[in-house]
Amino acid sequence: MHSSTLIHPVILCGGAGTRLWPLSRQSYPKQFSRLIGDQSLFQASARRTSGNGFAAPVVVTGDAFRFIVTEQLAAVEVAPAAVLIEPEGRNTAPAVLAAALWLAEHDPEALMLVAPSDHVIANAQAFRAAVAAAVPRARAGDLVTFGITPTRAETGYGWLELAPGADAASAVPQPLARFVEKPDAARAAVMLEAGNYLWNAGIFLFTAATLLAAFRAHCPEPLQDVTESVVAAKSDLGFTRLAPEPWARVHDISIDYAIMEKAANLVVMPYGAGWSDLGGWDAVWQETGPDGAGNVTSDHATAIGCTGSLLRSEAEGVELVGLGLHDIIAVAMPDAVLVANRADSQRVKEAVASLRARGARQATAFPTDHRPWGWFESLAMGERFQVKRIVVKPGAALSLQSHHHRSEHWIVVQGTARVTIDGEERLITENQSVYIPLGAVHRMENPGKLPMVLIEVQTGSYLGEDDIIRYEDVYARS
């Protein structure tokens, strides 16, 4: 099938998702978590926009997430056409523009389906049908936005006002009067009652050429800098790194402000088959499906005499028990616990801001630190020591490195490690250990076909992750 006849998904994958703290954090935001079902939100987004009629996706993300993106895509057998790495987050307009420029290099008429990576759309078949119904208008040169049939007087979303005579339940795109900013409760109730308003989902369909024309007409400022950044982009281990110098000059602006609120060639595709942006724990409670008492419990969580509550344990070995709770959110992680009234779940970002102001690591850092070679977690920490569990993927290798301030003991508890210390290579199998003196140049690899697990004991005057000198790294980290 020719590229011009395919729909090119553009998946935006850079948000922090602080409203779902402590599960979602800056270092590992909600789109990568299994909040609903056995796939992450990002994986579900990629699967929903793959298969017959769809090209390989273009993913726009940040440097810190690039290996998480490729690992999660590989797990659901989706190969990306490109992973564009933003040097810095600049909101949705520059991200979408960069993807349009990248696609236009190959096909100016490429049809782009722009979608966030952290939404829940349970009925993938209905969503694909809605996209197909919107294709003729997008091919004809319209900007198509998707509007969700509202189910409540929501103040957390922007709304879309349909033009007079438009049908909010139509199966084809409808004329749009205007975008409406997030309303207060009274205004939201009026719009819900009126019946000619939809929620703004932030999902769009248009050709690359149509979008570029819209930028030239309505928001020309970022065009030159984003174009320079795409033209000067460098390939790095299969990623496309947008050039940082021109990108730094680009202003932070959303696609709504830049284009959608100004364009005349705009139509809306109504969608009423179920959607959520999972913008808070109350939404997770709703989308997960409360039981007869209104409760949602995870594995290792028990509700006794509770109603209307979400109890979720994300910590291995931690049992969360609720007694007599009513309309409560309780989420337990290995390093942080959230307890809140369900009605106050939108205030979680206030808690994150407070923790950040106090310098608490939990505000931004996930307890499991994901790396291109695997992951690690801290099991215990004292004044001059730290104990970690490290998991290395089959065939993966850590960088060749040394430390100024710490020595390390490694004990293999599963699999086999190939260890290099000051040029000497050896194999360490289960129940064997090795000592790495302070300053020694060392590397660890997993030569096997199964994950390798070891316990690392660090001792020294400083144990921070920045005490590292890299000499060689297959993942091209500085």
Q: Which domains does the chain have, with CATH numbers?
A: 3-271 (3.90.550.10), 281-357 (no CATH), 372-472 (2.60.120.10)
Handedness of CA 399, 402, 403, 407 (dihedral sign): positive
* Concatenated DSSP letters of 391-458: EE-TT-BPPEEE-SSEEEEEEEEES-EEEEETTEEEEE-TT-EEEE-TT--EEEE--SSS-EEEEEEE
Nearest Cα neighbor of 99 from 70, 145, 60 is 60
pLDDT at 369: 86
pLDDT at 268: 96
Q: At what angle do helices 208-218 and 223-231 cross, to 10 degrees?
A: 140
* Concatenated DSSP letters of 299-357: TTEEEES-BS-EEEE-STT--EEEES-BSEEEEE-SS-EEEEEGGGGGGHHHHHHHHHH
Contact 270, 196 (CB under 8 A): no
State how beta strands 174-180 and 374-381 pair: unpaired
**Phi and psi torsions of 454, nearest 5°:** -140, 160
- Find residue 143's DSSP bridge partners: 266
How many C-beta atoms surround the C-beta of residue 124 within 10 A?
16
Residue type, 305: G
| Eight-state DSSP code of residue 237 | T
Residue corresponding to tokens 């056409």: 81
CA–CA gap between residue 48 and residue 70 (Å, rounded): 17
pTM: 0.88
Q: Three-class SS of residue 295?
A: coil
pLDDT at 17: 72
pLDDT tens per residue across all 478 residues of the chain: 455 689 999 999 987 778 999 999 888 899 998 988 889 999 999 999 999 999 999 999 998 898 899 999 999 999 999 999 999 999 999 999 999 999 999 899 999 999 999 999 989 999 999 999 999 999 999 999 999 999 998 888 889 999 999 999 999 999 999 888 888 899 999 999 998 999 999 999 999 999 999 999 999 999 999 999 999 999 988 899 999 999 999 999 999 999 999 999 999 999 999 999 888 999 999 999 999 999 999 999 999 999 999 999 998 889 999 999 999 999 999 999 999 999 999 899 999 999 999 999 999 988 888 888 999 998 888 889 999 999 999 999 998 999 999 999 999 999 999 999 999 999 999 999 999 999 999 999 999 999 999 999 999 999 888 888 888 877 765 5
